[in-house]
Amino acid sequence: MEYFKWIDTSISRIVEDLFPVSARFSGGVTNVIDSHILERNKYQNKFPITTRYASTEGSAKGQAELNYNWKTGHAPIPSDDNDNCLWQKQRKERSDISDRETIRKSINLHSNTPLPKFAQPDGTIYEGSEYVFRNLSKPYKLEKLLKPTIHGGINYPPDKDRNIIHNFVDRAGEVSPSGVPLNTFLVGQGTGQGIIEKQQCDDILDPNLKKRVQIAKRYIKNFSGFKKEILFPKFSKNNSYFIFQVFFKNKRDEILNILKSENIGVSIHYATPLPKMTYYKKRYNYKRNSFLNADIYGNSNISLPVYPELKMKEVDFICDTIIKFFKNEK
Protein backbone atom coordinates (compact mmCIF):
# COMPACT_ATOMS: atom_id res chain seq x y z
CA MET A 1 0.00 0.00 0.00
CA GLU A 2 2.78 2.43 0.91
CA TYR A 3 4.42 1.76 -2.43
CA PHE A 4 1.31 2.82 -4.36
CA LYS A 5 0.92 5.88 -2.16
CA TRP A 6 4.48 6.87 -2.97
CA ILE A 7 3.91 6.54 -6.73
CA ASP A 8 0.69 8.54 -6.56
CA THR A 9 2.31 11.28 -4.46
CA SER A 10 5.33 11.50 -6.76
CA ILE A 11 3.18 11.91 -9.87
CA SER A 12 1.08 14.54 -8.09
CA ARG A 13 4.20 16.52 -7.21
CA ILE A 14 5.40 16.40 -10.82
CA VAL A 15 2.02 17.64 -12.09
CA GLU A 16 1.94 20.44 -9.49
CA ASP A 17 5.36 21.66 -10.66
CA LEU A 18 3.93 22.10 -14.15
CA PHE A 19 1.08 24.37 -12.99
CA PRO A 20 1.57 28.03 -14.03
CA VAL A 21 2.19 30.37 -11.11
CA SER A 22 -0.96 32.33 -11.96
CA ALA A 23 -3.20 29.23 -12.05
CA ARG A 24 -5.70 28.59 -9.27
CA PHE A 25 -5.60 25.10 -7.84
CA SER A 26 -6.18 23.44 -4.51
CA GLY A 27 -3.11 22.18 -2.73
CA GLY A 28 -3.02 19.30 -0.32
CA VAL A 29 -5.72 17.26 -2.09
CA THR A 30 -5.93 13.81 -0.50
CA ASN A 31 -4.42 11.07 -2.60
CA VAL A 32 -6.87 8.28 -3.41
CA ILE A 33 -5.85 4.82 -4.57
CA ASP A 34 -8.42 2.98 -6.63
CA SER A 35 -9.39 -0.12 -4.68
CA HIS A 36 -9.52 -2.22 -7.86
CA ILE A 37 -5.74 -2.16 -8.06
CA LEU A 38 -5.68 -4.23 -4.87
CA GLU A 39 -8.33 -6.71 -6.03
CA ARG A 40 -6.42 -8.43 -8.81
CA ASN A 41 -6.27 -12.18 -8.83
CA LYS A 42 -3.68 -13.60 -6.42
CA TYR A 43 -3.55 -17.03 -8.04
CA GLN A 44 -1.62 -18.08 -11.10
CA ASN A 45 -4.30 -20.65 -12.00
CA LYS A 46 -8.04 -20.17 -11.63
CA PHE A 47 -8.81 -23.84 -12.27
CA PRO A 48 -7.20 -26.87 -10.64
CA ILE A 49 -4.58 -28.63 -12.75
CA THR A 50 -2.49 -31.71 -12.12
CA THR A 51 0.84 -30.07 -12.93
CA ARG A 52 2.05 -26.65 -11.85
CA TYR A 53 4.43 -24.53 -13.95
CA ALA A 54 6.46 -21.53 -12.94
CA SER A 55 4.94 -18.26 -14.09
CA THR A 56 6.52 -16.89 -17.24
CA GLU A 57 8.10 -13.46 -17.23
CA GLY A 58 8.46 -11.26 -20.29
CA SER A 59 8.67 -7.65 -21.35
CA ALA A 60 5.75 -5.64 -22.65
CA LYS A 61 6.52 -3.93 -25.94
CA GLY A 62 4.71 -0.79 -26.93
CA GLN A 63 5.47 2.63 -28.34
CA ALA A 64 9.25 2.31 -27.95
CA GLU A 65 9.43 -0.64 -30.32
CA LEU A 66 6.80 0.73 -32.70
CA ASN A 67 8.56 4.10 -33.00
CA TYR A 68 12.06 2.69 -33.35
CA ASN A 69 13.58 3.40 -36.76
CA TRP A 70 14.76 -0.06 -37.75
CA LYS A 71 15.92 1.27 -41.14
CA THR A 72 18.77 3.22 -39.56
CA GLY A 73 18.84 1.30 -36.28
CA HIS A 74 20.66 -1.83 -37.43
CA ALA A 75 24.36 -2.37 -38.00
CA PRO A 76 25.42 -0.90 -41.37
CA ILE A 77 26.52 -3.33 -44.07
CA PRO A 78 29.21 -2.67 -45.16
CA SER A 79 30.37 -0.99 -41.96
CA ASP A 80 30.70 2.80 -42.20
CA ASP A 81 30.83 5.14 -39.20
CA ASN A 82 28.64 7.68 -41.01
CA ASP A 83 25.80 5.28 -41.88
CA ASN A 84 22.94 4.13 -39.63
CA CYS A 85 23.64 6.88 -37.12
CA LEU A 86 20.97 5.73 -34.65
CA TRP A 87 22.75 2.39 -34.29
CA GLN A 88 26.15 4.12 -34.11
CA LYS A 89 24.98 6.35 -31.28
CA GLN A 90 22.96 3.95 -29.13
CA ARG A 91 23.85 0.34 -29.97
CA LYS A 92 27.44 0.16 -31.19
CA GLU A 93 29.67 -1.23 -28.47
CA ARG A 94 32.58 1.04 -27.48
CA SER A 95 35.87 -0.84 -27.37
CA ASP A 96 38.38 2.04 -27.22
CA ILE A 97 37.68 3.14 -23.64
CA SER A 98 35.89 0.84 -21.17
CA ASP A 99 34.16 3.71 -19.39
CA ARG A 100 32.51 4.79 -22.66
CA GLU A 101 30.78 1.42 -22.95
CA THR A 102 29.64 1.65 -19.31
CA ILE A 103 28.18 5.13 -19.94
CA ARG A 104 26.48 3.95 -23.16
CA LYS A 105 24.73 1.13 -21.32
CA SER A 106 23.68 3.40 -18.47
CA ILE A 107 22.11 5.91 -20.86
CA ASN A 108 20.35 3.50 -23.22
CA LEU A 109 19.23 0.63 -21.00
CA HIS A 110 16.00 1.52 -19.22
CA SER A 111 15.28 -1.65 -17.23
CA ASN A 112 16.89 -4.79 -15.81
CA THR A 113 14.52 -7.22 -17.55
CA PRO A 114 16.01 -10.75 -17.60
CA LEU A 115 17.19 -11.65 -21.08
CA PRO A 116 15.63 -14.73 -22.73
CA LYS A 117 17.82 -17.69 -23.65
CA PHE A 118 17.96 -19.07 -27.19
CA ALA A 119 19.66 -22.13 -28.62
CA GLN A 120 21.49 -22.64 -31.89
CA PRO A 121 21.17 -25.90 -33.88
CA ASP A 122 24.40 -27.18 -32.32
CA GLY A 123 23.01 -26.60 -28.83
CA THR A 124 24.94 -23.40 -28.08
CA ILE A 125 22.95 -21.16 -25.74
CA TYR A 126 22.94 -17.39 -26.24
CA GLU A 127 20.97 -14.45 -24.85
CA GLY A 128 18.57 -12.17 -26.69
CA SER A 129 19.44 -8.58 -27.57
CA GLU A 130 20.07 -6.57 -24.42
CA TYR A 131 19.11 -3.33 -26.19
CA VAL A 132 15.79 -4.67 -27.51
CA PHE A 133 14.57 -6.21 -24.27
CA ARG A 134 15.81 -3.48 -21.93
CA ASN A 135 15.22 -0.36 -24.00
CA LEU A 136 12.37 -1.06 -26.41
CA SER A 137 10.28 -2.73 -23.70
CA LYS A 138 9.17 0.63 -22.31
CA PRO A 139 5.40 0.84 -23.06
CA TYR A 140 4.97 4.55 -22.27
CA LYS A 141 6.41 7.80 -23.55
CA LEU A 142 6.86 11.05 -21.66
CA GLU A 143 7.34 14.34 -23.41
CA LYS A 144 7.33 17.99 -22.46
CA LEU A 145 5.93 20.81 -24.56
CA LEU A 146 7.72 24.08 -23.95
CA LYS A 147 5.86 27.27 -24.84
CA PRO A 148 8.31 30.15 -24.40
CA THR A 149 6.99 33.60 -23.67
CA ILE A 150 7.16 35.99 -26.62
CA HIS A 151 8.47 39.40 -25.60
CA GLY A 152 9.73 42.58 -27.19
CA GLY A 153 13.20 42.53 -28.68
CA ILE A 154 15.09 39.42 -29.75
CA ASN A 155 13.46 36.10 -28.80
CA TYR A 156 16.41 33.74 -28.46
CA PRO A 157 15.98 29.94 -28.58
CA PRO A 158 15.60 28.46 -25.07
CA ASP A 159 18.93 26.64 -25.34
CA LYS A 160 20.93 29.74 -26.33
CA ASP A 161 23.41 30.80 -23.67
CA ARG A 162 24.24 34.47 -24.25
CA ASN A 163 26.79 34.42 -21.44
CA ILE A 164 28.84 31.52 -22.78
CA ILE A 165 31.83 33.72 -23.55
CA HIS A 166 31.80 35.21 -20.05
CA ASN A 167 31.72 31.70 -18.59
CA PHE A 168 34.75 30.64 -20.63
CA VAL A 169 37.01 33.64 -20.34
CA ASP A 170 38.23 35.80 -17.53
CA ARG A 171 38.38 39.44 -18.60
CA ALA A 172 41.59 41.13 -17.55
CA GLY A 173 42.88 37.73 -16.49
CA GLU A 174 46.39 36.31 -16.40
CA VAL A 175 48.78 36.65 -19.31
CA SER A 176 51.91 34.79 -20.31
CA PRO A 177 55.40 36.34 -19.91
CA SER A 178 55.15 37.47 -23.53
CA GLY A 179 51.83 39.19 -22.87
CA VAL A 180 49.49 36.63 -24.48
CA PRO A 181 46.21 36.08 -22.54
CA LEU A 182 46.13 32.62 -20.95
CA ASN A 183 42.39 32.27 -20.56
CA THR A 184 41.05 32.57 -24.12
CA PHE A 185 38.14 31.21 -26.10
CA LEU A 186 38.70 30.27 -29.75
CA VAL A 187 35.91 29.25 -32.14
CA GLY A 188 36.42 27.44 -35.43
CA GLN A 189 40.19 27.19 -35.57
CA GLY A 190 41.61 25.58 -38.69
CA THR A 191 39.35 23.46 -40.90
CA GLY A 192 36.78 22.72 -38.19
CA GLN A 193 33.25 24.06 -38.07
CA GLY A 194 33.23 25.19 -34.44
CA ILE A 195 34.44 24.16 -31.02
CA ILE A 196 33.58 20.50 -31.62
CA GLU A 197 33.44 18.88 -35.04
CA LYS A 198 29.86 17.96 -35.87
CA GLN A 199 29.14 14.25 -36.25
CA GLN A 200 28.67 13.43 -39.90
CA CYS A 201 25.63 11.35 -40.78
CA ASP A 202 24.81 10.11 -44.28
CA ASP A 203 21.36 8.74 -43.41
CA ILE A 204 18.52 10.16 -45.49
CA LEU A 205 15.39 10.10 -43.33
CA ASP A 206 13.10 12.09 -45.64
CA PRO A 207 11.73 9.80 -48.43
CA ASN A 208 11.19 12.81 -50.71
CA LEU A 209 14.74 14.00 -50.18
CA LYS A 210 16.04 10.53 -50.91
CA LYS A 211 14.14 10.42 -54.21
CA ARG A 212 15.42 13.87 -55.23
CA VAL A 213 18.98 12.76 -54.50
CA GLN A 214 18.47 9.66 -56.66
CA ILE A 215 17.10 11.82 -59.50
CA ALA A 216 20.07 14.22 -59.23
CA LYS A 217 22.50 11.28 -59.39
CA ARG A 218 20.75 10.03 -62.53
CA TYR A 219 21.00 13.44 -64.22
CA ILE A 220 24.70 13.69 -63.38
CA LYS A 221 25.37 10.18 -64.63
CA ASN A 222 23.50 10.72 -67.92
CA PHE A 223 25.17 14.08 -68.60
CA SER A 224 28.67 12.96 -67.60
CA GLY A 225 29.70 12.43 -71.26
CA PHE A 226 28.72 15.97 -72.29
CA LYS A 227 30.54 18.15 -69.78
CA LYS A 228 31.68 20.59 -72.45
CA GLU A 229 28.17 21.28 -73.71
CA ILE A 230 26.25 20.91 -70.42
CA LEU A 231 27.48 22.38 -67.16
CA PHE A 232 26.04 20.95 -63.95
CA PRO A 233 27.04 20.89 -60.26
CA LYS A 234 29.09 18.09 -58.79
CA PHE A 235 27.15 15.65 -56.65
CA SER A 236 27.05 16.53 -52.95
CA LYS A 237 25.39 14.48 -50.23
CA ASN A 238 24.76 17.75 -48.36
CA ASN A 239 22.60 19.13 -51.18
CA SER A 240 18.81 18.87 -50.81
CA TYR A 241 18.37 19.17 -54.61
CA PHE A 242 15.29 21.30 -54.23
CA ILE A 243 16.15 22.30 -57.80
CA PHE A 244 18.62 20.77 -60.26
CA GLN A 245 20.12 23.33 -62.60
CA VAL A 246 22.04 22.77 -65.81
CA PHE A 247 23.83 25.52 -67.74
CA PHE A 248 24.41 25.98 -71.45
CA LYS A 249 27.02 28.32 -72.91
CA ASN A 250 24.75 29.02 -75.88
CA LYS A 251 21.49 27.94 -77.51
CA ARG A 252 19.72 27.72 -74.17
CA ASP A 253 16.49 29.09 -75.69
CA GLU A 254 16.55 26.49 -78.48
CA ILE A 255 16.79 23.73 -75.91
CA LEU A 256 13.87 25.27 -74.00
CA ASN A 257 11.71 25.12 -77.14
CA ILE A 258 12.63 21.48 -77.75
CA LEU A 259 11.78 20.52 -74.18
CA LYS A 260 8.48 22.38 -74.48
CA SER A 261 7.65 20.53 -77.70
CA GLU A 262 8.12 17.24 -75.81
CA ASN A 263 5.78 18.42 -73.01
CA ILE A 264 8.68 18.56 -70.52
CA GLY A 265 8.05 21.26 -67.92
CA VAL A 266 11.16 23.15 -66.82
CA SER A 267 11.88 26.46 -65.10
CA ILE A 268 14.47 29.23 -65.16
CA HIS A 269 15.85 30.51 -61.85
CA TYR A 270 15.73 33.32 -62.70
CA ALA A 271 15.02 34.61 -66.20
CA THR A 272 15.07 38.26 -65.07
CA PRO A 273 18.02 39.05 -62.79
CA LEU A 274 17.41 41.49 -59.95
CA PRO A 275 19.25 44.42 -61.60
CA LYS A 276 16.90 44.21 -64.62
CA MET A 277 13.70 44.45 -62.61
CA THR A 278 11.88 47.74 -63.10
CA TYR A 279 11.86 48.78 -59.45
CA TYR A 280 15.60 48.32 -58.97
CA LYS A 281 16.47 49.99 -62.27
CA LYS A 282 14.47 53.06 -61.31
CA ARG A 283 15.33 53.08 -57.60
CA TYR A 284 19.09 52.47 -57.91
CA ASN A 285 19.72 53.39 -61.55
CA TYR A 286 21.34 50.05 -62.31
CA LYS A 287 22.94 49.76 -65.74
CA ARG A 288 22.80 46.70 -67.96
CA ASN A 289 26.50 45.97 -67.55
CA SER A 290 26.53 46.53 -63.78
CA PHE A 291 26.02 42.84 -62.99
CA LEU A 292 27.38 40.80 -65.88
CA ASN A 293 27.46 37.50 -63.96
CA ALA A 294 23.77 37.82 -63.10
CA ASP A 295 23.07 38.32 -66.83
CA ILE A 296 25.09 35.26 -67.80
CA TYR A 297 23.43 33.16 -65.10
CA GLY A 298 19.91 34.17 -66.10
CA ASN A 299 20.56 33.56 -69.81
CA SER A 300 22.15 30.14 -69.48
CA ASN A 301 20.38 28.11 -66.78
CA ILE A 302 17.50 25.64 -66.88
CA SER A 303 16.01 23.98 -63.79
CA LEU A 304 15.09 20.39 -64.61
CA PRO A 305 12.26 18.49 -62.85
CA VAL A 306 13.17 16.80 -59.54
CA TYR A 307 9.75 16.19 -57.95
CA PRO A 308 9.59 12.87 -56.03
CA GLU A 309 6.91 11.32 -58.27
CA LEU A 310 9.23 11.57 -61.29
CA LYS A 311 10.10 8.12 -62.66
CA MET A 312 13.63 7.20 -63.66
CA LYS A 313 12.58 6.41 -67.21
CA GLU A 314 11.18 9.96 -67.40
CA VAL A 315 14.51 11.33 -66.15
CA ASP A 316 16.25 9.34 -68.88
CA PHE A 317 13.81 10.73 -71.47
CA ILE A 318 14.59 14.31 -70.40
CA CYS A 319 18.32 13.64 -70.62
CA ASP A 320 18.01 11.90 -73.99
CA THR A 321 16.05 14.87 -75.38
CA ILE A 322 18.82 17.31 -74.41
CA ILE A 323 21.67 15.00 -75.45
CA LYS A 324 20.01 14.33 -78.81
CA PHE A 325 20.08 18.08 -79.53
CA PHE A 326 23.85 18.25 -79.08
CA LYS A 327 24.43 15.07 -81.06
CA ASN A 328 22.50 16.56 -83.98
CA GLU A 329 24.58 19.73 -83.67
CA LYS A 330 27.73 17.71 -84.30
The Cα–Cα gap between 243 and 241 comes to 5
State the DSSP string of 51-70: S--PPP------HHHHT--T
- Quickly count helices (H) and strands (E) in the chain: 11, 5
Q: What is the pLDDT of residues 124-145, one digit of tens each?
A: 998 888 888 888 877 778 888 8
Q: What is the pLDDT of residues 265-304, one digit of tens each?
A: 999 988 888 778 888 888 888 777 778 888 888 889 999 9
Peptide bond into 121 cis (omega under 30): no
Output the pLDDT for position 39.
Answer: 58
Peptide bond into 280 cis (omega under 30): no
In 3D space, the residue among 263, 244, 243, 248 whose CA is nearest the CA of residue 321 turns out to be: 263
Beta strands in 270-321 (DSSP E): 301-304
The Cα–Cα gap between 275 and 297 comes to 13
**Residue 45 pLDDT level (bands cut at 50, 70, 90):** low
Q: What is the pLDDT of residues 160-204, one digit of tens each?
A: 877 776 666 666 677 788 877 776 666 655 555 545 556 677 777
In 3D space, the residue among 93, 94, 139 whose CA is nearest the CA of residue 113 turns out to be: 139
pLDDT over 70 at 41, yes or no: no
Output the pLDDT for position 322.
Answer: 94
Query: 3-state class of 38 per DSSP?
Result: helix
The Cα–Cα gap between 113 and 108 comes to 13
Output the pLDDT for position 266.
Answer: 93
